[in-house]
Amino acid sequence: MAAWISSLLFLCVIASVHLKYLSEDEDAKRELAEYIQETKKSINPRWRLHYHVIPPVGWMNDPNGFSYYKGEYHLFFQYYPYDSVWGPMHWGHSVSPNLVDWRELPTALAPDEEMCFSGSALVDGDKLVLMYTGRLNTDTDPFYNETQYLAFSDDGVNFYKYEGNPVLARTPDGAYDFRDPKIWKYGDYWYVVIGSSTHDARGRVLLYRSQNLYDWEFLTVLGESNGELGYMWECPDFFELDGKYILLMSPQGLEPQGDRYKNTHQTGYIIGSFNYETFEFVPEVDFQELDFGHDFYATQTLDADGKRIVAGWFSMWELPHPEDVDGWAGAITIMRELKLSGNRLLQQPLDEMLSLRNGSVHNGSFNKDESLVFEKTGELIINGDLEQKIELEIAGTNGGNNIWIRWEPEVKKVVVDRGGDVRQVEWSPIGSRSWRLFLDASSLELFCGEGEVVFSTRFYPDGDLRVNSFSDQSLNVEAHKLRRSVPV
């Protein structure tokens, strides 16, 4: 009897401690939610995007946990609500029924002893499971430790961390950089790719598998830099598309080569074949950039009804983020469908983007020295003679930054010029010869032809948006207003 009473008392103490921690956790969540709602009131709206996922307040970087659960698409993101610069990482959370209309949910993860770095999500039965990198500061060189954590939800809103974290504590060779797990299921196993670096500073991607999500077996180095593809491969993704396998990642440390690799860090892909018996990925097409604009990094993809959808961080490291003085920073690109065409990936806006159209601005010829004005947002479909130069300026009606888009027929290059900071690439149309241009307060996304060339760039005009033509030729332009699809 005494032993039974002792055991009962012990369980009561444990339950009491557990309830105390749950209560403290709920208090912290409530305080954070109240802080966000109060801080929203002071956000300057001048550059806030209208149809892109943005943080309610504070800082945002990588998209995380892109998934479909209980009838909605879930998109998480790296998040620091307490300032508009990078800080101890949380996971923000938005959901959508259609990948176009988004609403905010409560912050999904907050740091305890670990910062909640990037990761992914999967559905396991009735649970939504997050796998993310726990980053801990240490007192010894390199002053951080990166391991892989799990968190669970029964409703897609409230998450609890696995008590046995971390589930993956180190790389096979003890390398320090070990982050950004992207998880999927094939057959009876869960697989995950994780970004890493060798001891001699060459980027690589590691492949693991598990039957239960808790015990992981290292399989192979899926891909590795030969010394020319950077010192760290962040945010890896690995998927099959039209019979080929795509290794998508964000290498850090690539040296510029002519028009290529002009950003601080890059995002691109390798096309190859893969065997689930030998775990060997055989590259068939060398690394290619996915997006040629100024602000595109840290992609994540989702298989949605047989379509491979990609989203990226609509910003860039180690550059000014002018909106940070307004109480927020960072955004996510519009969702794009990836298609494989020969030896390259195409990016195309989702058909659902048509639902944003909210009135016509123009339909017909657009001549030199004419202008079109948009109230913060717009979509343009532009057709011209590619034997002649095309030159468009996008400026604020009240000044601020402007940006130029050009077609240079002599060199067959599309150019996006942000005040002398130029991104350009050769374009050979494989079908359509149109441009499709999305504008949103402080952003530009340009899709050329079938999506074989895409630019994602942020810029900061004042007032509404004015598109001016300086083309000697008459263009044909169809232009639309676009409605808001994210919270104010």
Domain residue limits, the chain: 51-349, 357-482
Mean pLDDT of the chain: 95
* pLDDT number for residue 4: 42
Strand partners, 365: 476
Residue of 149 and 25 predicted with greater confidence: 149
| CA distance linking residue 442 with residue 343, whole number of Å | 33
Domain 51-349 matches domain 357-482 at the CATH topology level? no
Q: In what order do the strands lie in the sheet with 160-161?
A: 115-124, 127-137, 144-153, 160-161
> Quick check: 21 pLDDT over 60?
no
* % of the chain residues with pLDDT over 70: 95
* pLDDT number for residue 25: 81
Mean pLDDT confidence for 43-66: 98
SS (H, E, C) 163-174: CCCCCECCCCCC
SS3 for 329? strand
Known catalytic membership, residue 291: no
pLDDT tens string 326-376: 999 999 999 999 999 999 999 999 999 999 999 999 999 999 999 999 999
pLDDT tens string 436-469: 999 999 999 999 999 999 999 999 999 999 999 9
Catalytically annotated residue among 62, 177, 180, 295: 62
Q: In terms of CATH architecture, what is 357-482?
A: Sandwich (2.60)
Report how far Cα 367 is from the mean position of its chain's Cα atoms: 37
Q: Which CATH superfamily is domain 51-349 in?
A: Glycosyl hydrolase domain; family 43 (2.115.10.20)
Strand partners, 469: 392
| CA distance linking residue 113 with residue 263, whole number of Å | 33
SS3 for 48? coil
* pLDDT number for residue 150: 98
Which residues, other chains included, contact 89 with Cβ-Cβ below 8 Å and sequence gap of 6+?
A: 78, 79, 80, 111, 115, 116, 117, 135
pTM of the model: 0.94
pLDDT tens string 287-321: 999 999 999 999 999 999 999 999 999 999 999 99
* pLDDT number for residue 479: 98
* pLDDT number for residue 7: 41
> Quick check: 258 pLDDT over 80?
yes
Of 6-20, 95-109, 220-234, 383-397, minimum mean pLDDT range: 6-20
Six token digits for residue 16: 């009491």
Q: How many helices (H) and strands (E) does the chain have?
A: 1, 33
* pLDDT number for residue 275: 97
* pLDDT number for residue 343: 96
Mean pLDDT confidence for 11-32: 59
SS3 for 301? strand
Tell me how far apart the terminal alpha carbons of the chain are, to the nearest angstrom: 62
Which residues, other chains included, contact 479 with Cβ-Cβ below 8 Å and sequence gap of 6+?
A: 360, 361, 362, 363, 372, 374, 378, 379, 380, 381, 467
Six token digits for residue 153: 């939800």
SS (H, E, C) 330-341: CCECCCEEEEEE
> Quick check: 143 pLDDT over 80?
yes
| CA distance linking residue 321 with residue 92, whole number of Å | 19
pLDDT tens string 391-409: 999 999 999 999 999 999 9
pLDDT tens string 207-256: 999 999 999 999 999 999 999 999 999 999 999 999 999 999 999 999 99
Residue of 25 and 50 predicted with greater confidence: 50
Given a contact cutoff of 8 angstroms between Cβ atoms, the answer to whether 344 and 288 are in contact is yes
Query: Quick check: bond before 487 cis, omega within 30?
Result: no
Of 15-24, 35-44, 67-76, 270-279, minimum mean pLDDT range: 15-24
SS3 for 29? helix
Mean pLDDT confidence for 246-269: 97
What angle is formed at CA 23 by the lines to CA 21 and CA 27, rounded to 5 degrees? 115
> Quick check: 15 pLDDT over 60?
no
| CA distance linking residue 167 with residue 212, whole number of Å | 11
Six token digits for residue 222: 């899926």
Task: Using alpha carbons, select from 136, 130, 122, 137 the residue that is nearest to residue 162.
Answer: 130
What angle is formed at CA 189 by the lines to CA 185 and CA 192, rounded to 5 degrees? 60
